């Protein structure tokens, strides 16, 4: 039986949560408020002239067929990155758990890509995928694929998906490995005595038991794909060819930081904020039900 | 260490720093990394050593976009540098911000620094002058598109000289392909080379208001016949392999490096980089092709690159330093050295003549092509330059639409119509912020 904790001093609880509140206000509420304020303005780069335009920035965006297309581009991109990064990392960590010799070596190397800056990762993979000098291009030629991400939108999309996935696998790998190692050995031994093989044990024992980690990673990976991938896209395709790799966050970055159109960029980030909030609510409401803590 | 010691150290350091600060410090934010950055430091150091009143402090701020964004942020926080380097797409934004910039012609007049805009190459400074001919920013690193061709591949195909017109581009490319080349030509920076400079070279306007020079209410016109015909033939050629698109900005260069394409159009400042990447291959430089159905004697081309802007909010002593530094930068010796080292265009006639006299062009064939292309005729309203707000977004739009054309998803007319429509939206948006 649990009893509610009662503070004798009525100010103490506020004092205790103050640091957390302060951080939330300074690093989240204020910037978000600023973004909402900016999204209703039209101003020049230096902030010399400022005009209140209400919802005009939003209306312009929703009247722009390219902007609407980039919703689908973002969805395609984010789902692919999240799924690929989770599956690859899970497979790798399942194998890593069984390695006897050189395990530290193997793990260290798998973690490395996480330390590579997104722009550097973008340039690296761009070099590999270059239609004239890329190594991957040459290999694809053996299979009869005429690889050209500068003109073929699907190729460009695959290129940014693979690069963004590659960067995220390490992070997922770390969490999956830790989760798998916390699965009690006794369960595996019991199942093994009953005659089930390693794959069956993984599916029926490990996978359900690590579901809280998987769910956490699912949310994190979506947030990563939505927010943290603009540098990769900037380095590799600049949203092209055509409009095919222009995701929502890339447009926020490009219009705001490079194009210096703060109003439109702020409106886009407000839309993105709402979208990710909805997505997270959805994940917690529906996917989390399948999670066994 | 005791308090006494500490304060002694503090006093001593204050005295020391005071003696250093006897020189007026002038901050210069720039976007030149690597070897160019070292050259910038060298120029500043030479200027500092040459006189005792002013100290130019160059600060590297990252890419062009980053440098401009940090200068804007600094201005909003009232911490702006006295000089900032801004790329050509930011020109309209800077020029519109009258409370921010200190126009060069005004600066020179106020500080009584001798200044004659007649000494400068009008094809270079024209990009940075008002429509009544007043220089607003100081050109620093300017280049212009030229045609690079692989002389070895030309020899193999039995071609004597580089093509001059677009018609010859087609003939030469066919000959090259017949001799085993995979593609005739490629291009870099397609908006700059195939739209902006196609207009300038053939004396056709890409927008009303003298390409945006005369006001903010300009409308794009690059969906008119000459442009449509040009993009149409490029589309047709990209099907037959005469033309091959290699990506945005300069990412199409590997097509030329690997000798897949025998020609490419790119920045004149890229020559030494090309020679480095293609050691052992004989590379030639020629003027950008023109369309002989549009013009008999081709116009000059438009520059790209960046210029230096003086920003307001400093004291008159610092502006004297800025003015002196700009004069120093424009001197024939400094310009000639910069031009020869970097491949960027010289900004004065004197610097060009000095380079010629030193025999640089004879030792490095091809390095004078860009200068000749810029100076052989007087610039017209259509070849002086372009000035558009939100130009970065406009170039993105042009890239995006042209890619749809090259991929065969849109007709040339449709692609250019869409680009003009979306581009005009950007111009209207910018117009509203300029009051």
- Average pLDDT taken over every residue of chain A: 91
Domain carrying residue B319: 23-143+303-363
Chain B residues in contact with A60 by the CB 8 A cut-off are 425
The verdict on residue A7 lying in a domain is: no
Nearest CA in chain B to A154: B407
For B358-393, what is each residue's pLDDT tens digit?
A: 999 999 999 999 999 999 999 999 999 999 999 999
Number of domains in chain A: 1
A148 touches chain B (CB under 8 A): no
Same-domain check for residues B177 and B199? yes
Asked if residue A40 is part of any domain, the answer here is: no
The count of C-alpha atoms lying within 13 angstroms of the C-alpha of B43, restricted to the half-sphere facing its C-beta, is: 28
More confident residue, B78 or A276: B78
> What CATH number has the domain bearing residue B138?
3.40.190.10
Of A104-108, A126-130, A232-236, B241-245, the one with minimum mean pLDDT is A104-108
Q: Is residue A97 part of a domain?
A: yes
Decide if A240 and B254 are in contact by the 8 Å CB cutoff. Answer: no
Contact call for A241 and B407, based on CB within 8 A: yes
Q: Which of A48, A241, A243 sits opposite B97 (nearest CB)?
A: A48
For residue B182, pLDDT over 80 is answered with yes
Residue to mutate among B257, B400, B422, B435, with most A CBs inside 10 A, is: B400
Mutate to test the interface with A, among B433, B434, B435 (most CBs of A within 10 A): B433
Q: Has residue B4 been placed in a domain?
A: no
Under a CB-based contact definition with an 8 Å cutoff, are residues B324 and B204 in contact?
A: no
The answer to whether residues B269 and B170 belong to one domain is yes
Minimum-distance CB partner of A132 among B99, B260, B400: B260
Average pLDDT estimate for B235-261:
94
Report yes or no on B8 lying in a domain: no
To the nearest whole Å, the CA of A94 is away from the closest chain B CA by: 40
Interface membership of B427 toward A (CB under 8 Å)? no
Give the whole-number percent of chain B exceeding pLDDT 70: 95
Identify whether residues B334 and B247 lie together within a single domain: no
Same domain, B100 and B172: no
Contacts of B260 in chain A (CB under 8 A): 132
Domain range for residue A112?
64-290
Residues A32 and A29: their CA atoms lie apart, in Å, by: 5
Q: Does the beta carbon of A261 lie under 8 angstroms from any beta carbon of chain B?
A: yes
Report if residue B368 sits inside a domain: no
* A56: in domain: no
A260 in reach of chain B (CB within 8 A): yes
In a domain, A189, yes or no: yes
A54 within a domain of the structure (yes/no): no
Question: How many domains does chain B divide into?
Answer: 2
Taking contacts as CB-CB distances below 8 angstroms, the residues of chain A near B433 are: 42-44, 49, 51
> Which chain B residues touch A257 with a CB distance below 8 Å?
65, 69
B72 touching A (Cβ < 8 Å): yes
Show residues of chain A in contact with B99, CB under 8 Å: 46, 48
Identify whether residues B351 and B318 lie together within a single domain: yes
ipTM over cut 0.90:
no
**B400-410 confidence digits (pLDDT tens):** 999 999 999 99
**Distance between the two ends of chain B, CA-based, in angstroms?**
59
Q: Does A51 touch chain B if contact means CB atoms closer than 8 Å?
A: yes
Quick: pLDDT tens for B103-141.
999 999 999 999 988 899 988 999 999 888 899 999 999
Q: Are B91 and B101 part of one and the same domain?
A: yes
DSSP lists the bridge partners of residue B19 as none
B427 and B296 part of one domain: yes
Same domain flag for B90 and B131 = yes
Do B284 and B340 fall within a single domain? no
Query: Residue A38: inside a domain, yes or no?
Result: no
Q: Is the model's pLDDT at A291 over the cut of 50?
A: yes
Whole-number CA gyration radius for chain A: 23
Q: Which two tokens stand for residue A39?
A: 């999204």
Q: What is the CATH number of the domain that holds A116?
A: 1.10.3720.10
pLDDT > 80? residue B12? no
| Residues B312-370 pLDDT 10s | 999 999 999 999 999 999 999 999 999 999 999 999 999 999 999 999 999 999 999 99
Binned at pLDDT 50, 70 and 90, residue B5 comes out as: low
| Preferred mutation among A34, A38, A48, A154 to probe B, highest tally of B CBs within 10 A | A48
Average confidence (pLDDT) over B186-200: 97
Residue A28 falls inside a structural domain: no
Token couple for A201? 């044990």
Within this chain, do residues B229 and B210 fall inside the same structural domain, yes or no?
yes
| Confidence check: pLDDT of B1 > 50 | no
Domain for residue B203, yes or no? Answer: yes
Residues B280, B153 share a domain: yes
The answer to whether residue B11 sits within a structural domain is no
Instruction: Establish if B265 belongs to a structural domain.
Output: yes
Residues of chain A contacting B255 with CB distance shorter than 8 Å: 132
| Residue B13, pLDDT score | 54
Residue with tokens 């400079």: B197
- Please indicate, yes or no, whether residues B417 and B281 belong to a single structural domain of this protein: yes
When scoring A56, A64, A132 by the number of chain B Cβ atoms within 10 A, the one with the most, hence best to mutate, is A132
């Amino acid at each position: 039986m649990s009893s509610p904790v009662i503070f004798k001093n009525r100010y103490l609880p506020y004092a205790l949560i103050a640091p957390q509140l302060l951080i939330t206000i300074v690093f989240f509420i204020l910037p978000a408020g600023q973004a909402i304020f900016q999204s209703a303005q039209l101003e020049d780069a230096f902030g010399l002239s400022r005009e209140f335009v209400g919802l005009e920035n939003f209306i312009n965006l929703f009247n722009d067929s390219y902007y609407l297309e980039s919703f689908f581009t973002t969805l395609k991109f984010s789902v692919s990155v999240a799924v690929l990064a989770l599956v690859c990392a899970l497979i790798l960590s399942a194998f890593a758990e069984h390695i006897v010799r050189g395990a530290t070596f193997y793990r260290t190397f798998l973690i490395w890509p996480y330390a590579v800056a997104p722009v550097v990762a973008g340039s690296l993979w761009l070099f590999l995928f270059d239609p004239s000098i890329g190594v991957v291009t040459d290999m694809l030629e053996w299979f009869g694929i005429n690889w050209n991400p500068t003109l073929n939108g699907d190729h460009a999309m695959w290129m940014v998906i693979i690069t963004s996935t590659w960067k995220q696998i390490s992070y997922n790998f770390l969490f999956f490995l830790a989760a798998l190692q916390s699965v009690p050995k006794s369960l595996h031994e019991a199942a093994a005595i009953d005659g089930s093989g390693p794959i069956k044990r993984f599916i029926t024992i490990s996978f359900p038991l690590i579901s809280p980690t998987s769910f956490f990673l699912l949310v994190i990976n979506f947030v990563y794909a939505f927010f943290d991938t603009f540098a990769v896209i900037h380095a590799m395709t600049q949203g092209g060819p055509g409009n095919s790799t222009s995701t929502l966050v890339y447009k926020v970055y490009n219009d705001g930081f490079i194009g210096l159109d703060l109003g439109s960029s702020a409106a886009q980030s407000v839309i993105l904020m709402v979208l990710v909030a909805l997505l997270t609510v959805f994940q917690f409401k529906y996917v989390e039900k399948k999670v066994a803590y | 260490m005791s308090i006494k010691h500490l304060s002694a150290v503090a006093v001593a350091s204050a005295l020391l720093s005071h003696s250093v600060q006897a020189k007026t410090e002038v901050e210069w934010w720039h976007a030149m990394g690597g070897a160019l950055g070292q050259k910038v430091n060298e120029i500043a150091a030479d200027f500092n050593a040459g006189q005792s009143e002013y100290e130019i402090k160059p600060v590297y701020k990252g890419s062009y976009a980053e440098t401009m964004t940090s200068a804007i942020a600094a201005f909003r926080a009232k911490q702006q540098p006295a000089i900032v380097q801004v790329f050509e797409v930011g020109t309209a934004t800077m020029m519109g911000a009258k409370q921010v910039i200190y126009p060069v012609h005004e600066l020179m007049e106020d500080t009584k620094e001798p200044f004659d805009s007649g000494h400068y190459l009008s094809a270079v400074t024209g990009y940075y002058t008002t429509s009544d001919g007043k220089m607003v920013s100081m050109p620093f690193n300017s280049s212009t598109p030229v045609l690079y061709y692989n002389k070895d591949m030309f020899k193999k195909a039995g071609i004597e000289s580089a093509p001059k017109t677009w018609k010859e581009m087609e003939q030469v490319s066919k000959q090259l392909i017949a001799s085993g080349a995979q593609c005739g030509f490629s291009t870099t920076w397609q908006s700059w080379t195939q739209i902006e400079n196609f207009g300038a070279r053939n004396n056709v306007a890409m927008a009303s208001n003298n390409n945006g020079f005369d006001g903010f209410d300009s409308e794009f016109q690059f969906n008119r016949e000459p442009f449509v015909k040009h993009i149409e033939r490029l589309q047709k050629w990209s099907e037959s392999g005469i033309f091959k698109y290699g990506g945005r900005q300069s990412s199409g260069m590997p097509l030329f490096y690997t000798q897949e394409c025998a020609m490419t159009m790119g920045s004149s400042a890229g020559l030494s980089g090309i020679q480095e990447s293609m050691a052992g291959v004989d590379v030639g430089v020629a003027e950008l092709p023109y369309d002989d159905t549009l013009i008999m004697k081709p116009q000059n081309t438009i520059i790209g690159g960046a210029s230096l802007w003086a920003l307001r909010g400093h004291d008159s002593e610092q502006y004297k330093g800025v003015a002196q530094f700009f004069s120093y930068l424009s001197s024939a010796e400094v310009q000639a050295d910069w031009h020869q080292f970097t491949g960027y265009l010289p900004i004065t006639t004197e610097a060009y003549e000095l380079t010629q006299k030193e025999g640089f062009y004879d030792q490095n064939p091809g390095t004078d092509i860009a200068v000749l292309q810029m100076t052989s005729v007087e610039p017209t309203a259509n070849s002086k330059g372009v000035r558009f707000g939100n130009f970065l977004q406009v170039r993105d739009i042009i890239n995006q639409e042209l890619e749809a054309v090259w991929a065969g998803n849109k007709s040339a007319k449709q692609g250019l119509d869409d680009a003009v429509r979306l581009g005009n939206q950007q111009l209207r948006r910018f117009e509203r912020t300029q009051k």
